[in-house]
Every structure is written in C-alpha cells, then in structure tokens.
Structure 1
Amino acid sequence: MNSINIIKPYKYLDMWGFDDEKVGLLQEPFFSGADTLIDKATKSIPNAKNGFILIFSKDYFPDTDLCLEWQRSDNAGNWYYSKEFDTEGWLCPALFKYFTDAPKNLYIKVKAI
C-alpha cells in the first residue's frame, strides 16, 4: 500500500464522489459529513465540483491542509473529526482499500487541478 495516496473527487448528481481504478472504485460517494468537510476544504478552489486533487496519508507530510482524527467505528465505517472545521465526517469501508486498519489520523492536502 502507498504511504501517500491521490484521488480526484468531483461532484456527480450533486454528491461528492471519486473513481480509483487501481483499487476498483467507481463513483464512490462521500456523505454523512464527509461531503461537508470537502465543501469546506475546497471553498477556495475554483470549479472544485469539476474535480480537484486530494492527497491523503496516515503519516504527516509537509503542507497538509487538515488532519482528521479518528473518533469511533460505526457500521463498518469510521468517524473522523476535523479541528480545522469543527466537523465530523463518516468514511465508508472503502477506506480499507487504502489502509489495513482505520488510521488514527488522516493528513489531507487539497488543491486545484
């Protein structure tokens, strides 16, 4: 598994989602607060709805925009909290396509394409 991962989220049918052929995901949606976190994180990215770069890792890397802290597991997914936005978001079991276990922290960088 990579230590730093990159996906390109976009809006489809007014929901955030992403494709990642290398792990077998197509139109994988973000919801239950994860969509709100993306809205807040991409506020300054023009046309983010058409796609933006989201870099994430369980390990800190320079220039991260936010750190999501693991809170609890729920329905095979996991809740994470953002101090930056004082918001929680649920990440579905697709998280395990990238990590063996739910990471204690997820470090995230968002940027325009």
Structure 2
Amino acid sequence: MKLFIVLALVAAAYAAPQQNPQDVQILRYDVNNAGLDSYSFAWELSDGSKHEEQGQLKNQGTENEAIAVQGQYAWVGPDGVTYVVTYTADENGFQPQIQQGPGGAVPSAVVASLLG
C-alpha cells in the first residue's frame, strides 16, 4: 500500500504544470485601433502562449457589412509541443486550421477541445 501511495505522489508531481500561472509574464502586448474600420492586436506570454489578430470592416454602410478577421494563436501543450491555430472569420464563419510543430498530428483530444 505504501508503494502505491508513493507512486501516486510521484505521478501527481510529474503531471503538475511546469510553471505556476502567477509566474507567467507578459512579454509583448500591442494594440492598434486604426479607426472604426480596422484593428490589430498581438500578445505573447512567457509560457509560450501568443495570439495575433487583424480585423477589417468590409462593405461598410451596406446591408452586407461585416468584419473580416484573420489571425493565429499558439500554446505549448503538456506534451511540450507548440500547437498553432491559424484562422479566418468572416461572413463564412470561423475557419480554423490547426497545426503542430514538426513531426506529427494534433492529438484528437486537443482538436475536440478546440472545436467542440
């Protein structure tokens, strides 16, 4: 029984996040609101997370007025792999393209958590 408890504690310590959320630092934060018809922003954190996005108003003043957005965000998964989602969002909806660093497919659990 003691061996089981020791193994459980070792497993819990191994599975623990490598960095406490309060230790994450903002490395970059840029915002550009260029009037009412466009914007952009970018941020990056010390844990490897980042997000960049640009948006622009299309068909201004018409019945088909909409914002067209493009961007990408990334994070380092618990497996140490950097995952990247590149996307567009416009009158056709949100259209993500999920990528991973060199060497493999994105695990189905990651895809399911993003899309569903």
Fold match, TM over 0.5? no
Which one has a bigger Cα radius of gyration? 2
With normalisation by structure 1, the TM-score equals 0.24
Higher relative contact order (CA 8 A, sep 6+): 1
**Normalized against structure 2, the TM-score is what?**
0.24
